[in-house]
Structure 1
Amino acid sequence: MYAVLKTGGKQYKVSQNDVIIVERLSGESGAKINLDKVLMIGEGENTTVGTPTIEGALVAAEVLEHKRGDKITVFKKKRRKNYRRTMGHRQELTVLRITDILAAGEKKPVAKKTKAEPKTGAPKETKGKVKAQTKADTSKADAAKTKRTPSKKTAVKKEK
Structure 2
Amino acid sequence: MNYAIVNIQGKQFKLFEKKYSYVPKIIVEEGKKIILNKVLFFSSEKESYLGTPFLNNILIEVEILQHLKGKKIIVFKKKRRKGYKVKKGVRPHFTKIKVISFIKK
TM-score by length of 1: 0.62
Q: Whose helix proportion is higher, 1 or 2? A: 1
Is the 8 Å Cα contact of residues 15 and 101 (structure 1) preserved in structure 2?
A: no
| CA offsets 1:128-157 (integer angstroms, 9 cap, x no match) | xxxxxxxxxxxxxxxxxxxxxxxxxxxxxx
Question: In percent, how many aligned pairs have the same letter?
Answer: 36
Decide which structure has greater strand share. 2
| Aligned 1:73-112 pairs, distance under 5 A | 73-103=74-104, 105=105
Aligned to 2:45: 44
Q: In the TM superposition, what are the counterparts of 1:1-160 in structure 2 within 5 Å?
A: 1-103=2-104, 105=105
- What is the root-mean-square deviation of aligned Cα atoms in Å? 1.1
Q: Is the 8 A contact 1:34 1:61 kept in 2?
A: yes
Aligned residues: 104
Q: Rg larger in 1 or in 2?
A: 1
The aligned counterpart of 1:123 is none
| Letter matched to residue 20 of structure 2 | V
Higher RCO by CA contacts (8 Å cutoff, separation 6 or greater) = 2
TM-score by length of 2: 0.93
Runs of 4+ residues deviating >3 angstroms: none
Alpha-carbon distance in 2 for matches of 1:91, 1:43: 33
Which blocks of at least 5 consecutive residues in structure 2 are unaligned?
none
Q: Give the residue type in structure 2 aligned to 1:79.
A: R
